[in-house]
Amino acid sequence: MAKHFAANFVNLLILLLIAAAGLIYWGQSEFSKPGPLTQSVFIEVPRGGNIKGVSEDLAEKGAITNAMILRLGAKYTKQSQNLKFGNYEIPPGATMKEILAIITKGGRSTYRYLASYRININGASLILSERDAENGGMKEMLRFKANGEMPAAYQELVATRVPINYRVTVAEGVTSWQIVEGLKLADFLEGDVLDVPPEGMLAPDSYEVRRGTLRTEVLDKMFAAQKRILAEEWENRAAGLPLKTPQEALILASIVEKETGIASERGEVAAVFINRLHKRIKLQTDPAVIYGLTDGKGVLGRGLRRSELVKKTPYNTYVIPGLPPTPIANPGRAAIHATLHPNASNNLFFVADGTGGHVFAETLVQHNRNVANWRKVEAQRRKDAKKKKN
């Protein structure tokens, strides 16, 4: 009887060992074989997140077949405690082993949604894009003005706490007041801004932020970036410039930025103003006069009046000699570089050419001829507009 019991016990033990071996083999196979995903999904590893919560999220999204196997695999490979906070894209067919490597290696977060918040002279707007699961590119979903009504689709993503990559982009030539006002309208930023930063000292660029970032933190990043750019460009400036300080360079760069939106013209526009400063000729730049009228708060929305061109103000460069007292906008690095490395040119004048660019001249006679041509273009445009209206 005892021998029969012992034999049965041994047989049962053997069966259990075989079953355990089979279970281990199956688990290893599940851990290493291609996963069930047919297209990419995006997951978030939250701050302080654990492998249990992440594995269940992966299973719910259909990225893995069994949350327990992923947890056991993470424990066996000693990666349970190595989760890295961030947002990750899980590619089609990814194995549990590969997924575990993705969420423990860390690196730059990959988001399904990108909200590009753009600030320009006409206000601020948000463009929401979604990553295409097939080719990885971004496709626009919607866009709206920051001071308008938020689309329901965007509100739903925010309400359900779907991870969104936010990016604040500031255009060249925007004033500090316009930047602050734009940031105030950003629903994803927090905190008050008590003071507008100095004009010209906010670098136009793109800045990645998270929902809840303080507005002052974004401004600090812009300020630090512009300070670094100005120092670098000033250090490497061309010789013989009539600019005594980095601040003077920044003032002139802001004028160059406002005078042309064409990259290839910046060096020539800068040369005109540099030549005028050398010859002690008044700069005669409309954007500076306009800044004196608006104080950088919005756009004038009309042409300058003759009375405004003859009235003496700190920013009326038709009346005052040299540079205005402060920058008139925030110039980008390209405008700062062009100002400190102007073209070798004798030009002293420029005027619009009717195509979006400018035509340059060395003498007043040439310039007057160019102005006359521009007047003809303006007259023809008014004539065409009148015909179209009728």
SS (HEC) of 179-192: HHHHHHCCCCCECC
pTM of the model as a whole: 0.79
pLDDT of residue 390: 64
Cα–Cα dist 188/195, whole Å = 20
Give pLDDT, residue 42: 72
Eight-state DSSP code of residue 329: S
* pLDDT given at position 106: 65
Q: Which of 228, 241, 221 is nearest to 338 (CA)?
A: 241
pLDDT at 71: 80
pLDDT in 10s for each residue of the chain, 390 residues: 555 555 555 555 555 555 545 555 454 666 667 878 776 667 777 777 777 777 877 887 777 778 777 787 777 677 767 776 667 777 677 787 777 777 777 666 677 889 999 999 999 999 999 887 666 688 899 999 999 999 999 999 999 888 899 999 999 999 999 999 999 999 999 999 999 999 999 999 999 999 999 999 999 999 999 999 999 999 999 999 999 999 999 999 999 999 998 999 999 999 999 999 999 999 999 999 999 999 999 888 888 899 989 988 999 999 999 999 999 999 999 999 999 999 999 999 999 888 889 999 999 999 999 898 888 887 877 777 777 776
Amino acid 108: pLDDT: 65
What is the radius of gyration, based on Cα positions, of the chain? 31
Going by C-alpha positions, the residue among 334, 282, 335, 338 that lies closest to residue 310 is 282
CA distances in angstroms from 280 to 101, 275, 277, 317, 346, listed in the order given = 65, 8, 5, 12, 14
pLDDT value of residue 13: 55
Q: Distance (Å, rounded) from C-alpha 290 to C-alpha 309?
A: 10
